[in-house]
Amino acid sequence: YRTRSTKRIGRPGRRMAPAPRRSSPWLVVLALALTCAGPPPADCRRARQPRCPASCTCTKDNALCESAGLIPRAFPPDVISLSFVKSEFTEIPTESFIHMPALHLL
pLDDT of residue 77: 87
Kindly state whether residue 80 falls inside one of the protein's structural domains. yes
| Domain extent for 63 | 51-105
3-state secondary structure 23-75: CCHHHHHHHHHHHCCCCCCHHHHHHCCCCCCCCEEECCCEEEEECCCCCCCCC
pLDDT of residue 1: 55
Q: What are the residue ranges in the chain where pLDDT is below 50?
A: none
Kindly state whether residue 92 falls inside one of the protein's structural domains. yes
Kindly state whether residue 5 falls inside one of the protein's structural domains. no
Amino acid at 26: W
Kindly state whether residue 76 falls inside one of the protein's structural domains. yes
Whole-angstrom distance, CA of residue 31 vs CA of residue 29 = 5
Total of domains in the chain: 1
Kindly state whether residue 93 falls inside one of the protein's structural domains. yes
pLDDT of residue 10: 55
Whole-angstrom distance, CA of residue 90 vs CA of residue 85 = 12
